[in-house]
Amino acid sequence: MSDRKQSTIAIKGSVFHFVENPFKTDEERSFQYYENGMLVIKEGKVHAVGAFAEESIRLEPGIQVIDHSGHLIMPGFIDTHLHYPQTDIIASYGKQLLEWLQTYTFPREGMFKDAEYAESVADFFFDELLRNGTTTAQVMATVHKHSAEIFFRKAQERNLRMISGKVMMDRNAPDYLLDSPETGFEESLELIETWHKKDRLLYAVSPRFAVTSTGEQLKKSAELLNSRPDLYFQTHLSENRAEVALIAELFPWSKDYLDVYDKFGLINERATFAHSIHLEDKNYQRLSELKAAVSFCPTSNLFIGSGLFDLEKITMARIKLGMGTDVGGGTSFSMLKTLGDAYKVLQLKGQKLSALQAFYLATLGGAGSLCLEDKIGNFLPGKEADFLVMDFNTTPLMQRRMAEASSLQEKLFIAMILGDDRNIKATYIMGEKVHGD
């Protein structure tokens, strides 16, 4: 561990990453793919990427070469929206959003009063992310200050690039989960001072959504954001129709749901709005103008029965977009499964999602949505070397189907439809293997 920053290592295998946005340019030019490739890592960052034949002769003698030949080396997945405290309510039966929260989420988040329980969930959560090749995530904690502290401490021990924040809720939740505009502000501020930009960690101001925060708390959230120029903001937006109707009752002065966040000054380029399904047409323009990001959470939208995401309107408006598993409303930590369900949601919507577009959203696109494209998301020199190694042939069916695939695009598509955690052969953080044998 101690000499990881000094060491240079080379990884051999098929190397794949994006250099452009396939939604904007010719897909074929959006990525680089070296079938016999090499990734060279120095001091935890990408030093070089290219064909094995060229890169290997430039290597200084004595450099360790790790051989992943036959497998795909690609940047780690980026999950732009999920809840670590909901790990243990995944696959809970039969509710839509507002009842889901009351029945499953709030009682479970109440258990995070117990720091020991929170620690055990955090450990499992990070193991599970890494087993699935997810190396960065934007994560909601609970209302308990220590739930965010535990999250950050565990992420720091693993040297992960993570974004999180203490949830703020001052109404419409059980008493045992409520803070107040003042305590929510104070506790968030203390967490920001301790954790924001500490090592690879970043803080997101996190009112759960406008249903559970009063105008006073949303005002305090903006005050927090304004206290430092580089803080993140995460919340939920227009996930479910009953939720949208409730917002109109709770904020009778608002023009629509997004207008609530807008009036309080909470929309900016470091803000992520999870779901964003039932939007007014003018909302797309507004999100784009203010450079805010949206997180598309297909497994959750299907499982909680929330609705079908409109990718075309998002991309037409050039809104920054990333993928979210939204565990535990979402049904899997696997980004491959999430991309597969994204494809199906869009089929129902009469829209398309190509394999390249999907993998872009899960890597460089997600990084861009979080203003982290200068640090993660692809293998340009200087980027932090967080990556996964994918095995395309983990089941008899995949082997059989892959044998017929001639292009990388076909293989990626089969992986996002048939794949899961078993395809993630190894995961590396800053050039160091943290999962796999």
Q: Which residues bind Zn ion (CB under 5 A)?
A: 274, 326
Q: Which is nearer to Zn ion, 55 or 79 (CB)?
A: 79
Compute the least distance from the CB of residue 81 to Zn ion, in Å.
6
* Residue 31: closest CA among 359, 352, 404, 423: 359
- CB 159: neighbour CB atoms within 10 A? 17
Q: Which is nearer to Zn ion, 80 or 132 (CB)?
A: 80
Compute the least distance from the CB of residue 62 to Zn ion, in Å.
48
Q: Which is nearer to Zn ion, 101 or 231 (CB)?
A: 101
In angstroms, what CA-CA distances link 316 with 23, 281, 312?
Answer: 10, 11, 6
Compute the least distance from the CB of residue 206 to Zn ion, in Å.
10
Compute the least distance from the CB of residue 208 to Zn ion, in Å.
8
Q: Which is nearer to Zn ion, 262 or 326 (CB)?
A: 326
Compute the least distance from the CB of residue 304 to Zn ion, in Å.
10
Type of residue at 437? D
Find tokens 């060279």 and name the residue: 40
Task: Give just the sign of the alpha carbon dihedral 176, 211, 118, 158.
Answer: negative
Extended beta strands in 218-319, E state: 232-237, 271-275, 293-296
Sheet with 64-75, side-by-side order of all strands: 45-51, 31-42, 8-18, 64-75, 387-390, 424-429, 432-435
Name the residue with the smallest CB distance to Zn ion: 326
Tell me whether strands 31-42 and 45-51 are parallel, antiparallel or unpaired. Answer: antiparallel
Compute the least distance from the CB of residue 65 to Zn ion, in Å.
42
Torsion of CA 14, 20, 22, 28, to 10 degrees: -50
Compute the least distance from the CB of residue 234 to Zn ion, in Å.
9
Q: Which is nearer to Zn ion, 273 or 413 (CB)?
A: 273
Q: Read off φ and ψ for residue 190, nearest 5 degrees.
A: -65, -40
Q: Which is nearer to Zn ion, 15 or 293 (CB)?
A: 293
Compute the least distance from the CB of residue 295 to Zn ion, in Å.
8
Type of residue at 358? A
Q: Read off φ and ψ for residue 262, nearest 5 degrees.
A: -65, -50
256-284 residues labelled b (16+ CB within 10 A) or e (exposed)? bbbbbbbbbebbbebbbbbbbbbbeeebb
Compute the least distance from the CB of residue 403 to Zn ion, in Å.
39
Compute the least distance from the CB of residue 83 to Zn ion, in Å.
6
Structure tokens at 289: 């103008």
Tell me whether strands 31-42 and 271-275 are parallel, antiparallel or unpaired. Answer: unpaired
Compute the least distance from the CB of residue 326 to Zn ion, in Å.
5
Task: Give just the sign of the alpha carbon dihedral 85, 221, 313, 29.
Answer: negative
User: What distance separates the 2 farthest-apart alpha carbons in the chain?
Assistant: 70
Task: Say how far apart CA 235 and CA 81 lie, in whole Å.
Answer: 9
* Residue 165: closest CA among 112, 99, 224, 234: 234
Q: Which is nearer to Zn ion, 274 or 414 (CB)?
A: 274
Q: Which is nearer to Zn ion, 326 or 420 (CB)?
A: 326
Q: Which is nearer to Zn ion, 274 or 345 (CB)?
A: 274
Q: Which is nearer to Zn ion, 326 or 391 (CB)?
A: 326
Structure tokens at 282: 């003018």
